[in-house]
């Protein structure tokens, strides 16, 4: 009797990405757990991060910041902002956002343009070189904008921190404008629409 071979890690990762794209977070988490046991330390670490994304989407947020932030030193550089973002999103749901001021300031210090800022991550796809990643995320960054606004409402900010966060808030507003314009242009260019 021929022995069944298990699917390759590439097939499992592709299936996990597809599950994430249709918001089947439980299936995505199961598939990521399979890849977390395979191949290389880089794939294992990215798989662990994807599991945290699934847990966030499923509402299990309690330990995400404590588990995600230490992964930064082991993840490809392309995932740093997504890791900071996921940690802040989970802290917001946990009611512990005020404990992560250093994280939002690190995000503000990253010096990224509006469209480079993180929103809600969906999946991180490790490239074959295991050095680069593609971060799939929702285009709506309103939750991240709300997080920055929450910090700006704190009276305990010094002027330097306030300036950094105001800049970050402005970049998130720019991202919202760009996203809205892109959606409007997309809808206007579809066939059958009057212009």
Q: Is the pLDDT of residue 134 over 80?
A: yes
Q: Is the pLDDT of residue 20 over 90?
A: yes
For residues 14-22, give the mean pLDDT.
96
**How confident is residue 4, by pLDDT bands cut at 50, 70 and 90?**
low
Q: Over the chain, what HEC string results?
A: CCCCCCCCHHHHHHHHHHHHHCCCHHHHHHHHHHHCCCCCHHHHHHHHHHHHHHHHHHCCCCCHHHHHHHHHHCCCHHHHHHHHHHHHHHHHHHCCHHHHHHHHHHHHHCCCCHHHCCCCEEEEEECCCCCCEEEEECCCCHHHHHHHHHHHCCCCCCHHHHHHHHHHHHHHHHHHHHHHHHHHHHHHCCCCCCC
Express each pLDDT in 63-86 by its tens digit: 999 999 999 999 999 899 999 999
Q: Is the pLDDT of residue 159 over 50?
A: yes
pLDDT for position 110: 83
pLDDT for position 192: 60
The domain locations on the chain are 9-63+72-182
- pTM for the predicted model, two decimal places: 0.88
Which residues on adjacent β-strands are paired with residue 124?
Answer: 135
Q: Is the pLDDT of residue 2 over 80?
A: no
Q: Is the pLDDT of residue 180 over 90?
A: no
pLDDT for position 195: 45
pLDDT for position 182: 83
**How confident is residue 5, by pLDDT bands cut at 50, 70 and 90?**
low
């Amino acid at each position: 009797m021929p022995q069944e071979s298990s699917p390759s890690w590439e097939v499992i990762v592709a299936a996990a990405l597809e599950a994430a794209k249709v918001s089947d977070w439980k299936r995505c988490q199961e598939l990521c757990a399979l890849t977390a046991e395979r191949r290389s330390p880089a794939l294992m670490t990215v798989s662990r991060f994807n599991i945290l994304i699934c847990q966030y989407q499923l509402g299990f947020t309690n330990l995400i910041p404590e588990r995600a932030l230490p992964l930064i030193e082991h993840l490809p550089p392309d995932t740093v902002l997504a890791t900071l973002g996921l940690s802040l999103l989970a802290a917001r749901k946990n009611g512990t956002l005020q404990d992560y001021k250093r994280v939002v300031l690190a995000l503000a210090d990253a010096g990224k343009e509006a469209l480079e800022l993180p929103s809600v991550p969906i999946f991180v796809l490790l490239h074959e070189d295991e050095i680069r990643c593609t971060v799939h995320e929702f285009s709506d960054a309103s939750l991240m904008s709300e997080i920055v606004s929450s910090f700006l409402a704190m009276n305990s900010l010094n002027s330097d921190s306030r300036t950094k966060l105001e800049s970050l808030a402005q970049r998130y507003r720019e991202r919202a404008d760009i996203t809205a314009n892109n959606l409007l242009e997309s809808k206007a260019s579809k066939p059958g629409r009057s212009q």
